[in-house]
Amino acid sequence: MAPPSGPVRAPESGGAAGARIRAARKDAGLTQQGLSAAVGVSRQTIIAMETGDYAPSVYLAVKTARALGVTVEALWGGDA
């Protein structure tokens, strides 16, 4: 069976993870383009993470957290 097509919706409702990513990016003084260059993905991928339309791989989550100077749990942890 083939996996569903389209974006992978992040499991957290309400966009809380996306809001945390956006806030951490702004706190780090990065634009979406700057963060995308730092982690090696397209700007559209950053937008999708910030809107909750994309749940990154563990590898990308770690790269993103490191680029923002925070922990993965701070961005995607449900209780963070």
Contact 24, 68 (CB under 8 A): yes
Type of residue at 34: G
Residue 15 has a pLDDT of 76
Contact 67, 39 (CB under 8 A): yes
Query: What is the four-CA torsion angle of 17, 32, 23, 51, rounded to 10 degrees?
Result: -30
Those residues of the chain that have pLDDT short of 70 are 1-14, 78-80
Taking each helix axis as running N to C, give the angle between helix 58-68 and helix 32-39, from 0 to 180 degrees, rounded to the nearest 10.
Answer: 120
Residue 80 has a pLDDT of 44
Q: Where are the domains of the chain?
A: 13-75
Residue 32 has a pLDDT of 97
Residue 9 has a pLDDT of 53
Fold of 13-75: 434 Repressor (Amino-terminal Domain) (1.10.260)
Residue 6 has a pLDDT of 53
